[in-house]
Amino acid sequence: MSLLSVVIPAFNEEQMISRMCDEVRRVLEGADISYELVFVNDGSTDRTAEEISSQAAKDSRITGVQFSRNFGKEAAILAGLAYATGDVTAVMDCDLQHPPETLVKMYRKWQEGFQVIEGIKKNRGEESVFHRESAGFFYRIMSGIMKVDMENTSDFKMLDRQVVKTVLSMPEQKLFFRAISSWVGYQTTTVEFEVHERAAGMSKWTVGSLIRYAFTNIVSFTTIPLQFISIAGGICFVGSLVLIIYSLVQYFRGHAVEGYTTTILVMLLIGSAIMLSLGIIGFYIARIYEEVRRRPRYIVSRIINGNAGETNDKK
């Protein structure tokens, strides 16, 4: 029988580990699907590691990958993919907002021959207006770049073993999993799901972290922001031509343009454009520097399972 691996990144989710195991076990055993759970503890500071150890001691199908510190959700997903051994691998959040019942629908699609099954949100659940609009803006940008509708996509996906190997073979240090799983191609389909309320605990995402996450992934995935610099330069050039023509016309008409005010406005406009451009370029240079250093995407301090003391150097 084919094995389904379920990768679950976890950061300070001590209240959710047991519930997650119980719900996934109930659904997959009820559907007669052979499975394993791979929890990736992303440097949690609560009792997440102890909870994973407790569950792994009860069920040999549960494995925990312990990071040495917090490396971020993308790194946790990639680590889970690396340690998964199944013929097909699903990635889902630990807060049960991704309903385990949808795993069965995805698995059946995989049995039909699809290699990438995308979880598509019917709705975005309970979100603040700012969060909803900012997330929508980010995904509209990514959709335009990729020519794929990403506004209602999520990290809730199921990938065939061949697709997992393709994703893991990519050498860059910063991978945007939600986009790269669509970019690789293969036979793809979608499954809709309702976003559930978080069963316990609180979201670890703040407005600041969401903005950093969005901008980091845009820069990691595309060079579009660099093209904005050329556009801004073109706008400044056109504006300068208009101002030059206007100034010359006024001069020959005997009405010279006020010098101080005009000079200050032009300097502020050009200075702002230059500083913004340098900031974008600097961000890309920082990303190049990170790639050149070739540091590992994550560091695994130990594996939590029957051999709890075992370490592994997969990256």
Whether residues 78 and 149 fall in one domain: yes
Whether residues 37 and 182 fall in one domain: yes
Instruction: Specify the CATH number for the domain of residue 63.
Output: 3.90.550.10
**pLDDT-based confidence at 139, cuts 50/70/90?**
low
Angle at 190 between CA 40 and CA 102, to 5 degrees: 55
How much of the chain, in percent, has pLDDT values that exceed 70? 71
Whether residues 124 and 265 fall in one domain: no
Whether residues 69 and 26 fall in one domain: yes
Does residue 125 have a pLDDT over 70? no
Whether residues 132 and 162 fall in one domain: yes
**pLDDT-based confidence at 141, cuts 50/70/90?**
low
Instruction: Give residue 7's pLDDT.
Output: 92
Domain holding 178, by residue range, is 3-205+297-304
Examine residue 60 and state whether it is found in any structural domain, yes or no: yes
**pLDDT-based confidence at 235, cuts 50/70/90?**
confident
Q: How far apart are CA 215 and CA 141, in angstroms?
A: 11
Looking at per-residue pLDDT, the higher value among 135 and 71 belongs to: 71
Examine residue 59 and state whether it is found in any structural domain, yes or no: yes
Looking at per-residue pLDDT, the higher value among 215 and 43 belongs to: 43
Instruction: Give residue 201's pLDDT.
Output: 52
Instruction: Give residue 311's pLDDT.
Output: 44
Does residue 165 have a pLDDT over 70? yes
Whether residues 158 and 232 fall in one domain: no
Q: What is the mean pLDDT of residues 93-106?
A: 87
Whether residues 137 and 238 fall in one domain: no
Whether residues 157 and 288 fall in one domain: no
Examine residue 55 and state whether it is found in any structural domain, yes or no: yes
Examine residue 245 and state whether it is found in any structural domain, yes or no: yes
Does residue 315 have a pLDDT over 60? no
Q: What is the mean pLDDT of residues 214-239?
A: 69
Whether residues 10 and 143 fall in one domain: yes
Per-residue pLDDT tens over the stretch 36-48: 999 999 888 888 8
**pLDDT-based confidence at 264, cuts 50/70/90?**
low
Q: What is the mean pLDDT of residues 226-242?
A: 72
Does residue 192 have a pLDDT over 70? yes
Q: How far apart are CA 64 and CA 41, in angstroms?
A: 7
Does residue 130 have a pLDDT over 70? no
Instruction: Give residue 308's pLDDT.
Output: 45
Whether residues 246 and 112 fall in one domain: no
Looking at per-residue pLDDT, the higher value among 207 and 140 belongs to: 140
Considering its fold, how many domains does the chain have in total?
2
Does residue 22 have a pLDDT over 70? yes
Examine residue 312 and state whether it is found in any structural domain, yes or no: no
pTM: 0.67
Instruction: Give residue 211's pLDDT.
Output: 62
Examine residue 44 and state whether it is found in any structural domain, yes or no: yes
Whether residues 256 and 131 fall in one domain: no
Mean pLDDT of the chain: 76
Does residue 309 have a pLDDT over 50? no
Whether residues 13 and 159 fall in one domain: yes
Here the tokens at position 202 are 């609180």
In 99-119, which positions are buried (b, 16+ CB within 10 angstroms) versus exposed (e)?
bbebbbbbbebbeeebbbbbb
Q: How far apart are CA 82 and CA 183, in angstroms?
A: 19
Examine residue 315 and state whether it is found in any structural domain, yes or no: no
Examine residue 132 and state whether it is found in any structural domain, yes or no: yes
Looking at per-residue pLDDT, the higher value among 304 and 19 belongs to: 19
